[in-house]
Amino acid sequence: MPEHQWRGRGALAVAAAGALVAASACSPGSTPGAGSGELAGVELLVAAKWTGVEQDNFTEVLAAFEEETGATVNYESTGEDTGAYLGPKIEAEEPPDVAILPQPGLVAEYAEQEALVPLSGEAAGALEENYTDYWRELGSVDGEAYGVLLKAAHKSIVWYRPDSFEEAGVSAPETWDDLTGETATTLSDAGITPFSMCGASGWTLTDWFENVYLSQHGPEAYDQLVAREIPWDDDTVVETLETLGEVWGEEDWLAGGTDGAVQTDFPTCVTEVYGQENAAMVYEADFVAASAQEAGATVGEDAQAFPFPAVGEDPPVVVGGDIAVAMTEKEGVQQLMAYLASPEAQTTWAGLGGYLSANSEVQPDAYPDEFTQTLAQTILEAGDNVRYDLSDQVPSQFGATEGKGMWAVLQDYLRDPSDPEAAAADLEEAAASAE
């Protein structure tokens, strides 16, 4: 340990020198290839919102890079609000070397502020090799590639507790009508609260909305809504809100009633299902697996999921994800980006669980269980009908800020779903003021 520290100290001097060289020479592609001990002494800082198990898994992936190159990679958690963490750091010109952004909207925002370093050399090559056009587009601004979709999240699944379904004698529903008319009603008759809501975390409510909207009105309308070609007080939005009200409005169906639904945050809502067993289902993305495991459930056995039921003709496939960007020109940053974009890194991560890759080169058998394999397959195969999380594509003030915009309006709507028109009008107002 002491030896390691000494190395770390020498590292600072090397890193400083390296930064000087990089700043003055700054020619893309000139960075040396990664090799054993190539970056010995270089210290890099990576910031992402992950904590707990997700953080542990990510640092394990980083550890492989450290071993390979000799660099020291430190991890810092940004907390729930990555924008609030990075904003002051960018202003102070002391950003982390690599940041993992939760929204493509932020990539565009920071690129405009010239806070990002475009991918170059082997990093650009890795992106080109391993990702399809759709995902590359997401991390690009004006044709310049900045981001690597590092971690995908499948947001169109509903998690449930199989023993509660067995007790009530119901099976996973395929359509929304089955979900509300059969599954939830029967569970409720059996004295089991059907849903646990994560209302205090506003983004979970936007995910509900997106799935219902995408399935109800199709991918084209979805894209138009993102671009505000369809206004938010449109009839389609009202209809989706009404549909959501079929679940959100049933106080008996929500764990802790309406008050509980609005005050419970993610991942407490997962613990409600798999820990306290207060409810049968919780809707959120694949990353629920990590929290479910923490609550003592075994994913695939007593924590299972079914595809989000079809509200319209087709069931929706909404995908979210975290995008890695380089924020400094320090030596080793592009190598780290290249490593993160590589199938090796992502295969390692896949093996640790709670992870989905959008990398075309990551083989399905890299995932530890059949369930995740199927999820990965659907993302890669769903093709043109996949849509990226809507709330992460709109300006963050509207789609991703605590107590504002979509989050606040949907939380109010969950609290009192009696007036979908008024909620739609509020959404339109908030969307207009965020332009």
Binding site for another protein (CB under 8 A): 81, 83-85, 87-88, 91, 109, 112-113, 166-170, 186, 188-192, 199-202, 252, 256-257, 259-260, 262-263, 265, 396-397, 401-404, 407-408, 411, 414-415, 433
The bridge status of strand 43-48 relative to strand 72-77 is parallel
Nearer to another protein, 345 or 424 (CB): 424
DSSP 31-61: SPPP-TTTTTT-EEEEEES--HHHHHHHHHH
- Residues 161, 280 contacting (CB under 8 angstroms): yes
Nearer to another protein, 71 or 244 (CB): 244
Tokens, residue 255 = 């764990």
State the angle between helix axes of 104-112 and 82-91 in degrees (0 to 180), rounded to the nearest 10: 10
Shortest Cβ 406–another protein spacing (Å): 12
Please name the residue that has the structure tokens 């979900």: 179
Nearer to another protein, 67 or 112 (CB): 112
Shortest Cβ 397–another protein spacing (Å): 4
CA dist., res. 336 & res. 360, Å (int): 19
Nearer to another protein, 357 or 396 (CB): 396
Nearer to another protein, 159 or 407 (CB): 407
Shortest Cβ 146–another protein spacing (Å): 17
DSSP 301-320: TTBEEEEPPBSSSS---EEE
Nearer to another protein, 291 or 347 (CB): 291
Cis peptide before 267 (omega within 30 of 0): yes
Nearer to another protein, 170 or 390 (CB): 170
Shortest Cβ 108–another protein spacing (Å): 12
Nearer to another protein, 162 or 219 (CB): 162
- Residues 320, 138 contacting (CB under 8 angstroms): no
The alpha carbon dihedral of 268, 266, 255, 259 has a sign of positive
Nearer to another protein, 79 or 383 (CB): 79
CA dist., res. 369 & res. 299, Å (int): 9
Shortest Cβ 1–another protein spacing (Å): 31
Considering only CA atoms, give the Rg of the chain. 22
Shortest Cβ 173–another protein spacing (Å): 14
CA dist., res. 363 & res. 373, Å (int): 9
CA dist., res. 378 & res. 82, Å (int): 28
Shortest Cβ 16–another protein spacing (Å): 26
DSSP label of 356: B
CA dist., res. 356 & res. 377, Å (int): 10
45 closest CA partner among 7, 8, 10, 96: 96
Q: Say how many C-beta atoms besides its own lie within 10 A of residue 304's C-beta.
A: 19
Shortest Cβ 135–another protein spacing (Å): 25
Shortest Cβ 192–another protein spacing (Å): 6
